[in-house]
Structure 1
């Protein structure tokens, strides 16, 4: 090693030992021991996945599963819309769930889901779901953290076909505005109106039986570190939220909690009474113009600590395997392959 370089390293080590006493320890000038705080054994990580279906982008959900495996969470929770659904054929419903199960078996950790409107859209689908998975609402506890999995379509609601047609026509107009003009004030106003109309069209319900279940579970687990509520529809956004949901919020108000939902295919974040209400975008689904803010394929990486959860929003395209090496264009988009001519031009200053 060059004499000047050795001197600089020694000076750095001496500076570090004086500036950060107790943090760095040196057996000799070529050895560095870093002392870190012992990890809390009660901390853990889990992943939140969003809708798979509803304008499904074939193959994306399976890719997200493989990316989650790279991250080794304790488990995964899903906000629903797991199958295409909307069928009256029992054999087709079971075929869709068989396909879904074939994807989930590739996940290396437990997968905990709620049902969405695509999963249970009629009595037959509700019966198939119950036979395959049991109750459509349940709870789990991990390291003294409570997870409440709710059914926001209990029972499933029928949709007015004329209103559905209006919403579909408005979606087409909005996509055309986004395609030709990008994000505009007019487009955002129309999007807000469409969101409200679409949300109220789909509605949402919580039965008395489900409310009693939630009330009992919360009463039995008053002293948990945190409570996570997972459901498909963000029914707190409805013009007139279900009465039983308002009662559930009242029961939650005196404890720390976070709520995850999906359904709308646009990622949004709000706070009510200093608590996080998060609506996921998609983990395989589609249907919304990608030029709109909050429209992307993603997951949430949640770290549960002894304080409050730390939540990171991770784009699916940003989670790469160790050998997946790409170039990035000027807009920040990843590209496969090598453009030799462009590389030469960049280096030659052309």
Structure 2
């Protein structure tokens, strides 16, 4: 047998065996996609989600381990345009997956858009449990990127009642709340500062709530991808911060989250530009820009 053919067969067997083992160890998976309307100004020519993402919907549809998805805001370009929502719903229906929304400023940035969203999809912040993991969706649009008032009280009550009895906590919102102009994330090119107050309470109130939980916490923001930076990853103690999005056709991506039977969490960073879905490498290898 040709040596090259033999090597190819051995490599294929090893890859297949590893993939099978990973699949066997999976309890469930979900996907996270941010800024799915794509690049500003293109929605009038697009039908549904960002075209490079639309081209990869079969990856989601055909993956039986994926039990749901989360769109982390800027789901449509104009939240007051019902046609955009109808087109989005058609793309979701194609995947045959349940998709939850963490709305962004394009979706609910004014009273009309918020009213349309609530009529079509319900509350803008909420929580649920999935296989003993706690999923929390927040709405920083209500108060200039702050989680405050009734929403903050609800969050505290949710964590007090559920936080100690679960395995993992997954938190979703649109804005990159951990960004500050003078902190270690200052060089990450988020899409926008639209609606941001001069001071916000992420580091003073919200982050400590989750840090004190002593459970693995994964926070996802979706306002990335239109500029040079399409994703970021940062782990500190029990809290992992992840931003992911699309639109710039440079680092467009979405993330597959695999929860193992032992409740450890693994990530797959799916590149949308080009044929190689692994082109962006491992999410966990990310290094903050200096």
> Shared topology, TM-score over 0.5?
yes
Identify if the C-alpha distance between structure 1 residues 37 and 249 changes in structure 2 by more than 3 Å, giving closer, same or farther: closer
SS in 1 for 2:56: helix
CA offset digits 1:41-88 (Å, max 9, x no partner) = x821111112112515643332232331132311111111111116xx
1:43 aligns with 2:27: yes
Q: Which ranges in structure 2 are unaligned for 5 or more consecutive residues?
A: 2-20, 182-197, 280-290
**Number of residues of Structure 1 aligned to a counterpart in Structure 2:** 226
CA distance in 2 between counterparts of 1:302 and 1:38 reads: 13
Q: Which ranges in structure 1 are unaligned for 5 or more consecutive residues?
A: 3-35, 87-91, 158-203, 321-331, 333-350
CA distance in 2 between counterparts of 1:216 and 1:55 reads: 38
TM-score normalised by length of structure 2: 0.69
SS in 1 for 2:116: helix
8 Å contact from structure 2 (residues 217, 238) kept in 1: no
Structure 1 counterpart of 2:60, from 43, 47, 68: 68
1:299 aligns with 2:226: no
Larger radius of gyration between Structure 1 and Structure 2: 1
8 Å contact from structure 1 (residues 208, 244) kept in 2: no
CA distance in 2 between counterparts of 1:244 and 1:299 reads: 24
Q: When you count strand as a share of all residues, which structure comes out higher?
A: 2
Structure 2 counterpart of 1:310, from 266, 271, 281: 266
1:277 aligns with 2:264: no
Identify if the C-alpha distance between structure 1 residues 37 and 82 changes in structure 2 by more than 3 Å, giving closer, same or farther: closer
8 Å contact from structure 1 (residues 207, 244) kept in 2: no
CA distance in 2 between counterparts of 1:272 and 1:252 reads: 12
1:251 maps to what in 2?
Answer: 209
Identify if the C-alpha distance between structure 1 residues 128 and 47 changes in structure 2 by more than 3 Å, giving closer, same or farther: same
Moved over 6 A (4+): none
CA distance in 2 between counterparts of 1:120 and 1:249 reads: 24
CA distance in 1 between counterparts of 2:95 and 2:239 reads: 30
Identify if the C-alpha distance between structure 1 residues 80 and 64 changes in structure 2 by more than 3 Å, giving closer, same or farther: farther
Structure 2 counterpart of 1:114, from 62, 84, 102: 102
SS in 1 for 2:81: helix
CA distance in 1 between counterparts of 2:22 and 2:32 reads: 28
8 Å contact from structure 2 (residues 102, 138) kept in 1: yes
CA distance in 1 between counterparts of 2:127 and 2:77 reads: 25
Displacement of 1:212 in angstroms is 1.0
The CA RMSD measured in Å over matched residues stands at 2.8
CA distance in 2 between counterparts of 1:244 and 1:60 reads: 32
1:226 maps to what in 2?
Answer: 168
CA distance in 2 between counterparts of 1:303 and 1:52 reads: 21
TM-score normalised by length of structure 1: 0.58
Structure 1 counterpart of 2:115, from 127, 149, 170: 127
SS in 2 for 1:68: helix
